[in-house]
Amino acid sequence: MNIIQAQNYDQLSKIGAAVIAGQILAKPDSILGLATGSTPEGTYKELVSLHRQNVLDFGKVSSFNLDEYYGIKRSDPQSYYAFMYRHLFSHVNIPGENIRLPNGEAQDADAECKAYEKLIAASGGIDLQLLGIGANGHIGFNEPGDVFPAVTHHVSLSESTIIANSRFYSSREEVPRSALTMGIGTIMAAKRILLLVSGAAKKSIMEQALYGPVTPNVPASVLQFHRDVTVVYDF
């Protein structure tokens, strides 16, 4: 693993954007795996800035997002779909048809997950997957458990995730109870992985993930088995 200590969030965001920019410059038709959460917001801002400065062309880029709440409309400002347009897609020239997220409005969640997994495989696979880490060690919405879920699936969110994500809602009751997420196998199939970890509150879970035993109780620990992971943290 390539582990980089940034001095602060601003530098973490610039390094994160530089890694993604390098990927796009080396392969303009890169397939990016993208993530939501507070952590990548600064990275997206930097990517938008690089695009505005004429450094980065998203014209041939494709993307697959990691996850989406289930039972939420794409037009809901809390949807990950809306998040991605707000922070990145509306500000760069990525073609709309190249943008994919699991559809949280799908009637049949399992069919949607199967179709999403197939679409990723048919694309030829993700070149660079951006990840954050949940306070409980989750990546995407792969929650701690007894097994590493292989493929895109419908998952019930753990109480700790619902509490963590309730900061975006006026009450805990409003937080969606389930989500559609790429599986650990889907994530591990990406050619490269970029994990961003921000804030000292994540120090202990990051250390467990990177240096502790590989266990589904800490889903991010599986990254120890991936051959090309860059971690950037800011504490």
What residues line the site for ligand GLP (CB under 6 A)? 35-39, 66-67, 132-134, 140-141, 161, 165
161/186 with CB nearer ligand GLP: 161
Name the residue among 47, 224, 43, 193 with its Cα closest to residue 129: 193
Rounded Cα–Cα distance for residues 60 and 173 (Å): 40
- Note if 87 is an active site residue: no
Name the residue among 130, 141, 151, 134 with its Cα closest to residue 34: 130
Minimum gap (Å) between residue 21 Cβ and ligand GLP:
20
57/164 with CB nearer ligand GLP: 164
104/132 with CB nearer ligand GLP: 132
Name the residue among 99, 127, 131, 122 with its Cα closest to residue 25: 127
- Which one of 46, 51, 67, 153 is the catalytic residue? 67
- Dihedral-angle region of residue 37 (phi above 0 means left; psi in -120 to 50 means alpha; beta otherwise): left
63/165 with CB nearer ligand GLP: 165
- Note if 136 is an active site residue: yes
Distances (CA, A) of 134 to 97, 104, 105: 29, 20, 24
Dihedral over Cα of 155, 158, 161, 162: its sign: positive
Minimum gap (Å) between residue 28 Cβ and ligand GLP:
26
Rounded Cα–Cα distance for residues 40 and 17 (Å): 9
Name the residue among 135, 162, 230, 231 with its Cα closest to residue 191: 230
- Which one of 138, 142, 153, 165 is the catalytic residue? 138
Here the tokens at position 99 are 């943008």
Minimum gap (Å) between residue 26 Cβ and ligand GLP:
25
- Note if 67 is an active site residue: yes
- Which one of 98, 136, 142, 165 is the catalytic residue? 136
Tell me if 224 sits within 8 A of 217, measured CB to CB. Answer: no
25/161 with CB nearer ligand GLP: 161
Minimum gap (Å) between residue 114 Cβ and ligand GLP:
20
Minimum gap (Å) between residue 37 Cβ and ligand GLP:
3
- Note if 117 is an active site residue: no
Q: Which residues are catalytic?
A: 67, 136, 138, 143
